[in-house]
Structure 1
């Protein structure tokens, strides 16, 4: 399996900039940190709205020094 993954990595190189790749990795890390993220077998996702609301409020509170 590792050999297959290496071959695919060589054949299908990611042509995006490192900035875009880093942004995507940060987004994936943020999604993985959600406690209520559920993925259905057919690929749909659901997230508890209260958890999102709490995280947005906490982020605003942490970053309020940048906003008047």
Structure 2
């Protein structure tokens, strides 16, 4: 089956920039890190709003040095 994966890799090349590919990998890693992420059989997703809230607050706190206050 490895040869099939290689064949698909040759036929369906990813022509996006390295930066865009890195952003996608970072996004996928972040999603995989969510503890309450649930995927339904029909492809829907649900996440506990409290976990999102906690992550947003932590991110804001970590990046607050980029914001200048008047």
Using structure 1 for the length normalisation, give the TM-score.
0.93
**Structure 1: which 5+ runs fail to align?**
none
Structure-2 separation of matches of 1:19 and 1:4: 27
CA deviation map 1:10-68 (0-9, x unaligned): 11000111111111011001100100011111111111110000000011111111113
Q: How many residues get paired?
A: 68
Q: Runs (4+) of structure 1 moved beyond 6 Å? A: none
Corresponding residue for 1:47? 47
**Structure 2: which 5+ runs fail to align?**
none
Using structure 2 for the length normalisation, give the TM-score.
0.91
